[in-house]
Amino acid sequence: MAGRLEGKVAVITGAASGIGRGTVDLFVAEGAKVVAADIQDDKGARLEEDHKGKARYVRCDVSSEADIEAAVAAASKHFGRLDVLFNNAGTGGARDMADAVTAEGFDSVMHLHVRAALLGMKYAVPVMRAQGGGSILSTASVAGLRSGYGPVLYSIAKAAIVHMTHVTAAQLGQANIRVNCICPGLIATNIFANAFGIPSQLAETRLGAIAEASKNNQPIPRGGLPRDIAEAALYLASDGSSFVTGHALVVDGGLTLGPNGADQMAAFAPIIQALGVDAETLAQMMAPR
């Protein structure tokens, strides 16, 4: 069913690449006008060219409150209203262990993820309240739900976004403003490259390889793509989810379900061996079926 966002206006941060760009493309295809906020001016220009009259690029560093305020204001300025805010901008951040974190690293990660999302709400809510409602989305992560899926600071920040979603949804429901977040699993984007200092242009040539490499890490045997998250954002932004708020929607191909198949059997291999099962029998038990 096309046109699920017909007549709606959205602001999307981190919009020029990865999940953000995938969401811009889908939102426009479904009838929305979009303010695409990012710091990648060249990609922003191409985005505007691809969606003439339907998407407006605005330079926005989400570590700056003034930039966030301006991006939200651009929706009303250019398109006359604001129905959806998608707080999506972010990176993997510092990879330090707990005993090596720095105050500067902590502040950087928290400002980029948690502070930016809350400030986005700060400026979007008055506009939505005056209109009679709206939908606010944020990108969290499975790293905010389970340990072992991201660096400590990133994981803490994403857990904070999940809880922020709960608290703000309870506060804003009476104003008909819904607040939800999405928890992606392994999605083929530049975030992996950024975490290891690999240039984004080079990383973009390897996204197919990332998807291929991750296809066996979850029960659904394919790599996650930006479109998978964009589809979740579309649902939460649309009137089809009008009775959904305070929800952290996991989109991970089953990653957080735990080991599966041979991996699950491998966890029991030492116990089976301790029971005296010979190597040949063990190999047969662990063989894919």
Active site (catalytic) residues: 154
Q: For residue 55, what are the β-bridge partners?
A: 34
Sheet holding 177-184, edge to edge: 55-59, 33-38, 9-13, 84-87, 134-139, 177-184, 248-251
Lookup: tokens for 55:
């998407």
CA distances from 113 to 1, 44, 72, 120, 249 (A): 33, 21, 17, 11, 17
Q: Where are the alpha helices (DSSP H) in 111-241?
A: 116-131, 152-172, 191-195, 200-204, 207-213, 226-237
Distance CA 18, CA 20 (A): 5
Q: Tokens standing for 38?
A: 């990012």
Sign of CA dihedral 271, 273, 275, 277: positive
